[in-house]
Amino acid sequence: MNADGGTYTLLESTRMTNAPSVEGTKTFQQYWSVRTSHRSSGTIDTGTHFDAWQRAGMQLGSFNYYVIMATEGYQSSGSSNIRLNSGGTDPEPDPDETTPPPGTGACTAKYATTSQWNGGHNGEVTITGGSSGVRNWKVPLTFASGQTVTAVWNGTASWSGNVMTVTPAGHNSTLSAGQSTSFGFTVNGSNTTAPSVGSCGTG
C-alpha cells in the first residue's frame, strides 16, 4: 500500500488477552501498517490506512468506542503532534488549503458487492469528488425487504424506513476534485439484491 510518500506492508495479528482489552477481556484482531523504508519525520494520514485495511479485508466494524490517538517509536525515540477530527466536526482549515464549496452534484457514488455468502454479503460505495470537490458528502441507499444492515465502517449511518443515509466518518469528509473515499457495510438476509444508490450530495 502506498501512502504518506512511502510503501507500507499491511499485517494482521490476533491479540490473546485476559487483561483489559478494547472490549472487556476479549481477544481481538490488531492491524498494522509497516513502512518498508525508515524515515526520521513526516506526516501520517490515519484515515488512509483505515481505508487500506478495510480494502484488504481487515474488518473494522463500527467505531463505537472512544478513540485514543498515541504514538510509539519502535527502537527509537521522538515526539509527534496529533490533529484529531471527531464527533462530526471538521478541523480548522489550513490557511493554504482551498475548501471545496458545497452543492448537490459535487460528487458521484458507485456501489460494488465485495463479498457474498449464504445469508449475507458485504457492500462498498466509492465516493469521488466532482470538478469542484465536495465537503460533508452524503449518500442514500435503499435496501430490499428482508435485508438488515449489521455493520457500517468508514461512514456514519442514519435510517428512515429502509433507506440508510451515510455521511462521513470524520477523516474522509472532504474530497478534492477526482479524489475518492469509500465506506462499507454488512447486510444480513438471503435477499442478495444490491441496494439502490441515490445521488451523492452534501449535508
Split at pLDDT 50, 70, 90, the class of 79 is: low
> What is the mean predicted confidence (pLDDT) over 67-79?
57
Select the more confidently predicted residue: 74 or 104: 74
Enumerate helices (H) and strands (E) in the chain, giving the number of each. Answer: 1, 14
Q: Which of 183, 133, 132, 176 is nearest to 155 (CA)?
A: 183
pLDDT digits (tens, 9 = 90+) for 6-58: 787 877 777 665 555 556 566 777 777 777 887 767 777 777 777 777 777 77
> What is the mean predicted confidence (pLDDT) over 55-70?
58
Q: What is the mean pLDDT of the chain?
A: 78
> What is the mean predicted confidence (pLDDT) over 65-70?
48
Q: Which of 29, 93, 38, 83 is nearest to 58 (CA)?
A: 29
% of the chain beyond a pLDDT of 90: 40
At 192 the pLDDT is: 84
Structural contact between residues 172 and 135, judged by C-beta atoms closer than 8 angstroms: no
The pTM of the full predicted model, rounded to 2 decimals, is 0.52
- What is the spatial distance between Cα 202 and Cα 12, in angstroms, rounded to a whole number? 35
Structural contact between residues 154 and 172, judged by C-beta atoms closer than 8 angstroms: yes
- What is the spatial distance between Cα 67 and Cα 93, in angstroms, rounded to a whole number? 22
Identity of the highest mean pLDDT range in 16-20, 57-61, 67-71: 57-61
Please work out, in degrees rounded to the nearest 5, the angle formed at the alpha carbon of residue 108 by the alpha carbons of 136 and 170.
Answer: 25
- Which CATH topology does 1-84 take? Jelly Rolls (2.60.120)
- What is the spatial distance between Cα 190 and Cα 118, in angstroms, rounded to a whole number? 7
- The torsion defined by the Cα of 12, 64, 126 and 4, in degrees rounded to 10, comes to -50
- What is the spatial distance between Cα 111 and Cα 137, in angstroms, rounded to a whole number? 15
pLDDT digits (tens, 9 = 90+) for 133-169: 999 999 999 999 999 999 999 999 999 999 999 999 9
Q: Which residue has the cell 452534484?
A: 105
* Domain definitions of the chain by residue range: 1-84, 107-202
Residue 173 identity (one-letter amino acid):
S
- What is the spatial distance between Cα 79 and Cα 85, in angstroms, rounded to a whole number? 20
Q: For the chain, how big is the Rg over CA atoms in Å? A: 18
Architecture of domain 107-202: Sandwich (2.60)
At 101 the pLDDT is: 44
